Chain A
Amino acid sequence: MSQDYKTDDEILGKAYDAKLMKRLMGYIRPYRKYVILAIVLNVVVAALGPLRPVLTKIAIDENIKGKDYHGLMITVLALLGSLLLQALIQYFLTYYTNYMGQKIIYDIRVKLFSHVESLALKYFDKTPIGRIVTRVTNDVESLNELFSSGIVMVFSDIFIIVWIFVFMFLMDWKLSFVTLSVLPVLIYGTFLFRKKVRDSYRDVRFHLARLNSYMQEHVTGMNVVQIFGKETDELKRFASINDDYKQVNIKSIFYYAVFYPSVEFLSSFAIALIVWYGGGEIVQGKLSIGVLFAFTQFTEMFFRPIRDLSEKYNILQTAMASSERIFKLFDTDIIIKEPEKPMELKEVKGEIEFKNVWFAYNDNDYVLKNINFDIHPGQTVAIVGATGAGKTSLINILTRFYDINKGEILLDGVDIRNFSKKELRKYISIVLQDVFLFSGTIKSNINLNNSEISEAQIMEASRSVGAHRFIKALPEKYDEVVKEKGATLSVGQKQLLSFARALAYDPQILILDEATSSVDTETEILIQRAIQKLLVGRTAIVIAHRLSTIQNADKILVMHKGELREMGTHQELLAKRGIYYKLYQLQYKDQEVTKSA
């Protein structure tokens, strides 16, 4: 696996990006009451902390030295009051900022999910599912920290520092300058550290993404690993990926190991300065001991927020990177456009016409070339052709999973682009070539949690496809739990369920794309009989590799390399001695032999 390949997940943006921030702020707007409240509370609470050294100074210089019992009592009570107030405000502050954060990410998450649901299949073709899932879950989650602690904490840190400065300078400006003389070094160090950490953080993320995608993939394909007895080799590969991850982590430890002690040292150095300079002043009688007390406490107080700023920087950076990816997804507008004034589809007769249809998944790489045909209401039409001939593509454009490049597709004489997708699809059921089951129950997989589809309808549909028999044998019948991707069902059974789903929706137009490829012949015949009854008055399109399954078609379309090469009934096509005839020969010559044997 190539290393230089970087996905979105590994891109790391700036810690602060004005444009992104502005968009994020858009989500805060509905909650601005909370923001204002939080800022006000922050200003107050930030002052309460630094107020304590001031009170301590008073206690020492005035009360204790002045042997003033009563005064000491009052100062202590003031201390207690400030403490209580601080605790109370802190509680509400934390609660409300978290409330706000959670609300905001709820909004973003639901909006993002809805957005993804509306995207066209083209987007899903190009984007790994895992990545989209990460967007709506983890990426949104990392915004939580930004909203619930990040932004507010940055404010509170700034306020605290400001208050400390105010109190310090009010007490003694000269000592303040001496104490703060270490600040430039601290700021420079933090800056340097931040840069290093950012780089190593990027490496860590990159290797973590690699590790996770390796695990994800190999858990999914574990049976292949085991069948081929590759456990030892895979363990070695895993070890190397795991080791890379360890190494980058250890590298990043170094920066932290240097940074934190350095800050500690600087803070002690500041205290040394206070003792040395402040002591001198005290000796000369220019300064009281209480101020010295207060300053040592101030030093403690302002080094912590600065030190933690680097941590917050990481939060900010992660959040920015996440929001960049989230917004990129929001900005993805690969959608199939709805008409401005959608026409109503009250009733569908089921007449379909393709007129000079051209279609390409990518640019001009035409997969369907100049397709023309029509299907009368109630007809059953079969599409045959080799793999990759364009059969699935043909039905993909009929339901507007993709839009065509040229030409038009008409339903009951009207261009399908005049209907809303929802309306259109309501009347069409497709049994997809790739079976997909959701975790849930048998029932929920057939009706897809649509309460309008009754139990009786579900059973009826299952009977028609011959699934009822095996469902009945399950311990919980229709309420039997279906595992992820239907892991505990046989492949054919899964296909039957997906077939039953289509019938349960009672469509006017039924499309079967290789709907019985994994089903045994007997069941297949059973299904054919059942749907023949069902299809009276409805239109059906059937795609099949096995010609036997399309015997009753009113019309057969033969696709070849994206072109519609032959069209007609079985007999007509045989008489033509073209592609269909050849396909037919191939499939049945063996049986001819056995029959005569």
Chain B
Amino acid sequence: MKSLLSLKKYFYRYKTKLLLGVLFILISNLGNVYLPLILKDSVNALQKRADYSQLIRYGELIALISLVSGVFLYLKRQTMIVASREIEYDLRQDFWQHIQKLSLRYFQNHSTGDIMAHATNDLNAVRTFVGPAVMYSVDTIVTLVLVLSIMLSLNVSLTIYSLLPLPLLSYLVYRLGGLIHIKFTRIQEKFSELTTKSQENFSGIRVIKSYVREENEIKEYKTLSHDYFNKNMDKVKIEALFQPVLFFVIGISLIVVIWIGGLKVINGTMDLGEILAFVVYLGLLIWPMIAVGWVVNLIQQASASMKRLNKMFEEDYEIQDNELTDHKIKEIKGKIEFKNVSFRYGENLPYVLRNISLEIPQGCTVAIIGHTGVGKTSFINLIPRLYDVTEGEVLIDGRNIKHMPLNILRKHIGIVPQETFLFSDTLANNITYGLSENKMEIVESVSEISQLKKDVESFPKGFETMLGERGITLSGGQKQRTCLARALAIDPNILILDDSFSAVDTHTEEEILKRLKAYMKDRTSIIISHRISTVKDADKIFVLDKGVIAEQGTHDELVQKQGIYADLHYKQLLEKELEELN
């Protein structure tokens, strides 16, 4: 419940609408509770043989009052529910703003499905609380207070008798609500397992089919679905109690009214109209009572959801501008320096990089080479601060990157991630993603460098071709080259290519490298590759091994050194020679 307190600021923001809503609820309810009084009067009048015109007046009064209360009912929804949508909007907006600032670590350790569950289910549960739940709570309280006071004013003892079962009701609602909530959480967990299972199964369908695992997967899915079924039935067992219990308790009240009230009427201490009024009032209470149960449920769900959302909101940004940030920095040139940098992914995980110091002068092209999993990607991720160093510091133009505005830092770095990702948008929009406007000349020129042009020419719609879900699927090599073009388009001072030619055939790679040479002339560039042919022209090559820079120098220097690099060089040469010998 406490978690819902974090909604305070949103409520505060829309206080006018919400307060008006409360007022409207009050007014419409005043009308509602007034009606039974008229009924009572008319019945009493009838017993005294009232005349016809009096009855017409009662009829008119009833119609008029309900018209007024109807208008306010309309206004109530137009204020409270509308406010709830506004709050939902704000909340979602804040959610997104927050998500965008979370670091890569968060996204690597949380599945997309989980994050989406926050964005959809949890936000929705909170919205339902903010809107209907709050509205009905207020409604219930107002109705309860008004009805109770009128009932009391009519007949104190009958009121007390008839409301005796109510505390029992509250207790039951509370207990059942709690139980249902627990069951509900379990259901949601299972449901998300089901979703993940389907998601992975369909994404990895090629693997499953290749290894003939369909039957096994179906079996597992069955088990999971069955669990889900059981969890649902656990909840149903309790939930099914809810309505009958509510109705039963309220029904008891009705019986009490008729029985005790009836006795009183027989004894002459009460008139018949009052019984009718009581019966109608109890009728008025039925809906609020049902609402109580429902609202309790909603609040339970909302508070659980809000707890999850709060946990997310509390998630540290890890990497962001802070008081040390020097906002005067507007540009970076590109001299990169690592000073005693160590890095690991977590407290209990081994160091990936250990005490690395190196310097990349502005305008230089350097290459990094090293075994699978040695930490090349981890190394370059430190430069745009996708991760922060564990120890030591990274400097650009002689300044610690932690003191640079994040936005400026990243705007000047063009990076081609090892794993490609493109948006389902047009090819042109993907290429110009990092630009503020869609300039066709730029698209043309960077596609020329990345050798995308000839592929695009074969597409009927050229650069306006849609990608992804609504369009075509590019081949691995085409994707890599699009990502390259996207990085080139922002005209970066630092260009980073992380094994960006792995899916590109050698001929095309050759062509690209030739053109890149001119492009990279005055830019600082870092190229990761496993192929000597890709890296050998670099001004400097770093060989990463076991977390440290094992060797560095130009191609020739390193070959001379007879170390790891030379070994690699000979191996790749040897392969070729072997072929020739064959």
Is A351 engaged at the interface, CB distance under 8 Å to the other chain? no
User: Smallest distance from the beta carbon of B485 to chain A beta carbons, Å?
Assistant: 13
- Select one of B92, B248, B413, B422 contacting A84, CB under 8 A: B248
Interface centre among B70, B86, B93 (most CB of A within 10 A): B70
- Select one of B213, B236, B279, B370 contacting A56, CB under 8 A: B279
Is B225 engaged at the interface, CB distance under 8 Å to the other chain? yes
Question: CA–CA, A249 to B69, complex, Å?
Answer: 24
Question: CA–CA, A124 to B258, complex, Å?
Answer: 66
Question: CA–CA, A293 to B418, complex, Å?
Answer: 78
- Select one of B195, B247, B377, B421 contacting A87, CB under 8 A: B247
| B48-93 residues at the A interface, CB under 8 angstroms | 49-52, 55-56, 58-60, 62-63, 65-67, 69-71, 73-78, 81-82, 85-86, 88-89, 92-93
- Select one of A84, A386, A483 contacting B108, CB under 8 A: A483
Tell me which of B154-162, B302-310, B570-578 binds A.
B570-578
Residue-wise interface mask of A (387-424) relative to B, using a CB-CB cutoff of 8 A (1 in contact, 0 not): 11000000000010100000000000000000001100
- Select one of A63, A90, A106 contacting B243, CB under 8 A: A90
| Residues in A neighbouring B109, C-beta threshold 8 A | 483, 487-488
- Select one of B52, B73, B225, B478 contacting A106, CB under 8 A: B225
| A27-69 residues at the B interface, CB under 8 angstroms | 52, 56, 59-60, 63-64, 67, 69
Contact B82 A250 (CB under 8 A): yes
Is A86 engaged at the interface, CB distance under 8 Å to the other chain? yes
User: Smallest distance from the beta carbon of B96 to chain A beta carbons, Å?
Assistant: 5
Is A184 engaged at the interface, CB distance under 8 Å to the other chain? no
Contact A570 B386 (CB under 8 A): no
Question: CA–CA, A297 to B213, complex, Å?
Answer: 62
Tell me which of B143-151, B200-208, B327-335, B395-403 binds A.
B200-208
Residue of A nearest to B64 (CB): A272
Main secondary structure of the interface of A (DSSP, over half): helix
Assess A470 versus B532: contact at CB under 8 Å? Given A272-B62, A448-B211, A448-B213. no
Contact A432 B210 (CB under 8 A): yes
| Residues in B neighbouring A436, C-beta threshold 8 A | 203-204, 206-207
Contact B237 A95 (CB under 8 A): yes
Is A3 engaged at the interface, CB distance under 8 Å to the other chain? no
Is A265 engaged at the interface, CB distance under 8 Å to the other chain? yes
User: Smallest distance from the beta carbon of A215 to chain B beta carbons, Å?
Assistant: 5
Tell me which of B442-450, B498-506, B518-526 binds A.
B498-506
| Residues in A neighbouring B199, C-beta threshold 8 A | 129, 133
Is B216 engaged at the interface, CB distance under 8 Å to the other chain? yes
Residue-wise interface mask of A (229-245) relative to B, using a CB-CB cutoff of 8 A (1 in contact, 0 not): 11101110011001101
| Residues in B neighbouring A219, C-beta threshold 8 A | 99, 107, 112, 115-116, 119
Assess A90 versus B275: contact at CB under 8 Å? Given A261-B74, A583-B507. no
Question: CA–CA, A595 to B577, complex, Å?
Answer: 11
Contact B233 A98 (CB under 8 A): yes
Question: CA–CA, A594 to B568, complex, Å?
Answer: 14
Question: CA–CA, A130 to B108, complex, Å?
Answer: 20
Contact B533 A260 (CB under 8 A): no
Residue of A nearest to B211 (CB): A448
Is B292 engaged at the interface, CB distance under 8 Å to the other chain? no
Residue of A nearest to B68 (CB): A265
- Select one of A90, A233, A450, A493 contacting B372, CB under 8 A: A493
Tell me which of B1-9, B177-185, B343-351 binds A.
B343-351
Tell me which of B167-175, B259-267, B293-301, B356-364 binds A.
B259-267
Contact A426 B272 (CB under 8 A): no
Contact B410 A227 (CB under 8 A): yes
| Residues in B neighbouring A426, C-beta threshold 8 A | 212
Contact A439 B204 (CB under 8 A): no
Contact A262 B203 (CB under 8 A): no
| Residues in A neighbouring B468, C-beta threshold 8 A | 128
| B411-425 residues at the A interface, CB under 8 angstroms | 411, 413, 415, 417-419, 421-425
Contact B240 A95 (CB under 8 A): yes
| Residues in A neighbouring B232, C-beta threshold 8 A | 98, 102
Question: CA–CA, A253 to B247, complex, Å?
Answer: 30
Contact A425 B212 (CB under 8 A): yes
Assess A265 versus B212: contact at CB under 8 Å? Given A438-B200, A520-B530. no
Contact A224 B258 (CB under 8 A): no
Contact A269 B100 (CB under 8 A): no
14 pairs, CB–CB < 8 Å, chain A vs chain B: A75-B258, A76-B259, A83-B248, A83-B251, A90-B243, A94-B240, A110-B218, A257-B75, A275-B39, A275-B55, A387-B477, A436-B206, A448-B213, A473-B350
Closest 10 CB pairs of A and B: A492-B372, A268-B66, A276-B59, A257-B77, A261-B73, A87-B244, A94-B240, A261-B70, A272-B62, A548-B575
Given A113-B221, A224-B417, A271-B39, 17 additional A-B pairs, CB 8 A = A60-B262, A72-B258, A110-B218, A113-B198, A114-B218, A132-B198, A133-B198, A219-B115, A242-B89, A275-B58, A276-B56, A450-B213, A488-B109, A491-B377, A495-B372, A594-B536, A594-B569
